Amino acid sequence: MPLSFSNQRILVTGGAGFLGKQVVNQLIHAGADPAKITVPRSRDYDLTQMEACRRAVDQQDIVIHLAAHVGGIGLNREKPAELFYDNLMMGAQLIHAAYEAGVKKFTCVGTICAYPKFTPVPFKEDDLWNGYPEETNAPYGVAKKALLVQLQAYRQQYGFDGIYLLPVNLYGPEDNFDPRSSHVIPALIRKVHEAQLRGERTIPVWGDGSPTREFLYSTDAARGIVMGTQFYAEPEPVNLGTGYEISIKDLITLICELMDYDGELVWETDKPNGQPRRCLDTQRAKDKFGFTAEVEFREGLRNTIHWYRNHASRITG
């Protein structure tokens, strides 16, 4: 029996962010009343504090937990302790507060960083515990993976309906383009754009270009999260992805092509590559709640580049 969003009070942590805005839109599209969707802002609710978590979940029927302290390899290397503590405390306390408050459904959005460094490709959910995550993002990945254990334990002991979804790397308009904390696609788009503005003929890129990644467009991810919330009620984690794998070298070549940049790439091989390969097995999401990604990668990249070029002057100040 699918969960109806009609007349449900829904809390979306991180709902003002890049993915969160899309999730709110998809909730409304699926029948939620906009007036009953609450988006707590970090200035009012420090979710690392239990009191704030209890205030946030009070009177709520459904909680979708997207809020995270997250960034790319640079931030993972610079602030591993903060990433571990903040993400663990936010999630663990919010889940407990939601259980205490009698929340009917809790959807926790995890991270692909939780998978072991050398997971067989494509990543299957059953491989999640077969090794330690890639070192640069392990503190973040382990903190988020602990929330899966918590949800499974609360389901077993209390009958609490909490689900855990694992979206692959996200991208799309309104992504984080701050070079200190951005992920690979917005970081590369910004590098190319600024090289064009300055007339530079070379662009430095971290690593050697060999790692592969899979990317999920933000509207597809949001649709998957809302479908999971509505149609899935089991303890096993579920991947959200496209099943399409591309190397970093091919990715930046495509970005350069779409942005009409013909300069040279300089690979900084003293910088970390991150996890060698990432590509998901997406069959469980299709089987359990009918989710498949719809936005083709080149189209999604074009949309993201177009949005950034229209907003770059405001973003960069």
Residue numbers belonging to the annotated binding site for substrate: 191, 206, 213
Q: Active-site residue among 45, 99, 115, 140?
A: 140
Distance CA 50, CA 24 (A): 24
34: DSSP letter: G
H-type helices in 110-247, by residue range? 138-158, 184-198, 218-231
**Binding-site positions for NADP(+):** 14-20, 144, 167-170, 183
Residue corresponding to tokens 């491989």: 127
- Residue 268: strand, helix, or coil: strand
Residue corresponding to tokens 């970005």: 255
- Confirm whether 154 is a catalytic residue: no
Angle between helices 248-258 and 184-198 (to 10 degrees): 40
Residue 271 is which amino acid? K
- Provide the token pair at 208: 């050697």
Angle between helices 218-231 and 18-29 (to 10 degrees): 50
Closest CA to 109 of 157, 160, 148, 158: 148
Distance CA 75, CA 85 (A): 14
**Binding-site positions:** 14-20, 144, 167-170, 183, 191, 206, 213
The backbone torsions φ and ψ at residue 245, rounded to the nearest 5 degrees and listed phi first, read -110, 135
The backbone torsions φ and ψ at residue 115, rounded to the nearest 5 degrees and listed phi first, read -70, 150
Q: Evaluate whether 290 touches 175 at the Cβ level (below 8 Å).
A: no
Q: Evaluate whether 165 touches 108 at the Cβ level (below 8 Å).
A: yes
Q: Which residues are catalytic?
A: 140
